[in-house]
């Protein structure tokens, strides 16, 4: 049964977790909204020389290549069978959180833990797990996301983080622990040590409740927000009984850097096109090198980020471009000292592995941390040297519309123009549009946009609105399998709401969630505090 995991006992378990930790979660979210500065923080406990992070279990000691994707049966089977060392099953950025997807994801995870996951495609093909598969690590939703279809005892929506984590633990923790392959988690969107501390408390309580030894749970934290980069060592310290690695979540990190502009640059640094914001940009390189240094200082592993390129089995030229780009990206990460990396497609596993196995790490040159190297500066290329182009404005509009329309149709990871797009890359696109629209020079002039003929025009609201209409009309003429019904029109409505707002919305998924199809009822939830929606 689709809702077989939604037993009264399981729902009561996650409800109890939610009731215990919801007030603390809300306090942390309020602290985010009240942040007025962004400076490196330290603590005497963090700086103490003697502490180290948790021992790394055998199943996580080799993480040379990790593959990621949504917690959907077919994609999970392909990823687990890919030859990668680790598979991160995503319940967050790569999963559109329709109710069916959320519940099907939990069911697929339970089957994967037990080695019985299978899938039959509409054309009759059957997919099964190999005898040897990647180690499964689960990414629950971030602290900022709710599960609106379920309500806690206070009558408010339950935490999506608690629901995803609690359901997985209730149904699978003992099975995973017995095999030595979990329970393992990837924690997203943390904005500092205090938020890591809350996860540590949730882990400890859940282990005690389920009768598991302290430290059974193991976690990797994605450093994908600008505030978290300020407190990497604190995050390791607060989760030291559980944490085994940090990951350089580059795409969300770029999104966060743009979003945090008012907190560190009063002169409003102008971010260039997304294609200019590579990992060789000084502030991105400093972020990666800092992460490696902190991890190795404290005994944790450092995992590199995702290259968005995906190969094409139908286009040899596109395939070659993807292989070349991924090889260069992974060679750079290996030379920086990362212990492993991410890919988004099974065909890239061997490419990434070869890059790591044939590249020696350069000696670390990281000095005392004062945080300054992590901040974008107008004096450092490419900032304030290149104006956005009309081509890239159109690309950002196109990507956001295609992705949001697919997300509203139930797909959370979509290949668009040869790149794997998820919520993180869509966030960059729409945030850049807002950033460029609201940017003003010292004299109050709007940004200039470079045209293909070399001319430049001011980016007015009228021009931006015209380009959104143009993109809608062009996409409407195509047959796009990932876009269903009126989702493209809804995506246009949402993009306009976000781009023309006076204030930058913290996450596009928050207003997008209200536009997902609503289930008629929630089977199996009659005896707990829930909302029938």
Which residues sit opposite 119 in a β-bridge?
127
Compute the distance between CA of residue 79 and CA of residue 310 in angstroms, rounded to an integer: 14
Backbone φ/ψ region at 10: left (φ over 0), alpha (ψ -120 to 50), beta: alpha
CB atoms within 10 A of CB 236: 27
For residue 278, with 0-12 CB atoms within 10 Å meaning exposed, 13-18 middle and 19 or more buried, which class applies? middle
Q: Is 422 helix (H, G, I), strand (E, B) or coil?
A: coil
Residues 6+ away with beta carbon under 8 Å from 50: none
CB atoms within 10 A of CB 171: 21
Determine contact, residues 80/87, Cβ cutoff 8 Å.
yes
For residue 431, with 0-12 CB atoms within 10 Å meaning exposed, 13-18 middle and 19 or more buried, which class applies? buried
Compute the distance between CA of residue 282 and CA of residue 409 in angstroms, rounded to an integer: 38
For residue 175, with 0-12 CB atoms within 10 Å meaning exposed, 13-18 middle and 19 or more buried, which class applies? middle
Determine contact, residues 422/93, Cβ cutoff 8 Å.
yes
Compute the distance between CA of residue 97 and CA of residue 144 in angstroms, rounded to an integer: 14
Of 138, 141, 128, 214, give the one whose Cα is nearest residue 176.
138
The residue from 139, 240, 290, 430 that is catalytic is 139
CA separation, residue 209 to residues 169, 204, 214, 293 (Å): 11, 9, 11, 36
- Known catalytic residue at 100: no
Q: How far from each other are the two terminal CA atoms of the chain, in whole angstroms?
A: 20
Strand 243-247, strand 218-222: pairing: parallel
Determine contact, residues 93/423, Cβ cutoff 8 Å.
yes
- Known catalytic residue at 422: yes
The residue from 93, 329, 398, 422 that is catalytic is 422
Of 243, 164, 152, give the one whose Cα is nearest residue 196.
243
Backbone φ/ψ region at 57: left (φ over 0), alpha (ψ -120 to 50), beta: beta
Compute the distance between CA of residue 302 and CA of residue 246 in angstroms, rounded to an integer: 5
Compute the distance between CA of residue 120 and CA of residue 526 in angstroms, rounded to an integer: 32
CB atoms within 10 A of CB 316: 10
- Give the active site residues: 139, 422
């Amino acid at each position: 049964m689709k809702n077989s995991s939604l037993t009264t006992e399981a729902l009561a378990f996650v409800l109890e977790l939610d009731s215990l930790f919801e007030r603390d979660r809300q306090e942390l979210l309020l602290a985010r909204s009240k942040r007025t500065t962004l400076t490196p923080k330290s603590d005497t406990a963090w700086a103490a020389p003697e502490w180290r992070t948790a021992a790394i279990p055998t199943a996580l000691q080799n993480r040379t290549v990790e593959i990621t994707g949504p917690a959907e049966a077919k994609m999970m089977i392909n990823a687990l069978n890919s030859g990668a060392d680790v598979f991160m099953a995503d319940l967050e950025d790569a999963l559109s959180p329709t109710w069916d997807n959320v519940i099907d994801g939990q069911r697929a995870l339970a089957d994967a833990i037990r080695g019985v996951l299978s899938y039959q495609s509409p054309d009759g093909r059957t997919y099964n797990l190999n005898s040897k598969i990647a180690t499964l690590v689960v990414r629950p939703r971030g602290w900022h996301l709710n599960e609106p279809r379920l309500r806690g005892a206070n009558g408010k929506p339950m935490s999506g983080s608690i629901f995803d984590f609690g359901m997985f633990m209730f149904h699978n923790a003992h099975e995973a622990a017995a095999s030595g392959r979990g329970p393992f988690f990837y924690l997203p969107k943390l904005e500092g040590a205090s938020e890591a501390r809350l996860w540590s408390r949730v882990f400890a309580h859940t282990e005690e409740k389920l009768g598991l030894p302290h430290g059974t749970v193991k976690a990797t934290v994605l450093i994908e927000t600008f505030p978290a980069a300020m407190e990497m060592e604190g995050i390791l310290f607060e989760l030291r009984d559980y944490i085994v690695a940090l990951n350089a979540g580059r795409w969300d990190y770029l999104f966060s850097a743009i979003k945090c502009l008012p907190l560190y640059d009063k002169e409003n640094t102008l971010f260039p096109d997304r294609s200019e914001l590579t990992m060789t940009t000084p502030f991105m390189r400093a972020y990666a090198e800092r992460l490696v240094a902190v991890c190795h200082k404290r005994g944790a592993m450092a995992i590199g980020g995702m290259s968005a390129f995906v190969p094409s089995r139908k286009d040899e030229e596109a395939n070659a471009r993807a292989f070349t780009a991924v090889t260069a990206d992974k060679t750079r990460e290996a030379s920086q000292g990362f212990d492993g990396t991410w890919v988004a497609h099974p065909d890239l596993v061997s490419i990434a592995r070869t890059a790591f196995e044939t590249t020696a790490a350069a000696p670390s040159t990281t000095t005392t941390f004062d945080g300054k190297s992590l901040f974008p500066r107008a004096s450092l290329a490419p900032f304030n040297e290149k104006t956005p182009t009309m081509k890239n404005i159109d690309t950002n509009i196109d990507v956001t519309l295609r992705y949001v329309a697919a997300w509203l149709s139930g797909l959370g990871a979509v290949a668009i123009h040869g790149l794997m797009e998820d919520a993180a890359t869509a966030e960059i696109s729409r945030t850049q549009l807002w950033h460029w629209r609201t940017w003003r020079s010292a004299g109050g002039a709007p940004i200039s946009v470079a045209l293909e003929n070399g001319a430049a025009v001011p980016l007015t609201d009228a021009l931006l609105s015209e380009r959104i209409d143009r993109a809608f009309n062009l996409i409407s003429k195509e047959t796009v399998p990932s876009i269903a019904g009126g989702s493209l029109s809804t995506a246009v409505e949402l993009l306009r709401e976000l781009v023309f707002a006076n204030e930058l919305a913290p996450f596009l998924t928050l207003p997008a969630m209200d536009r997902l199809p609503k289930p008629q009822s929630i089977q199996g939830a009659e005896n707990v505090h829930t909302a029938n929606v």
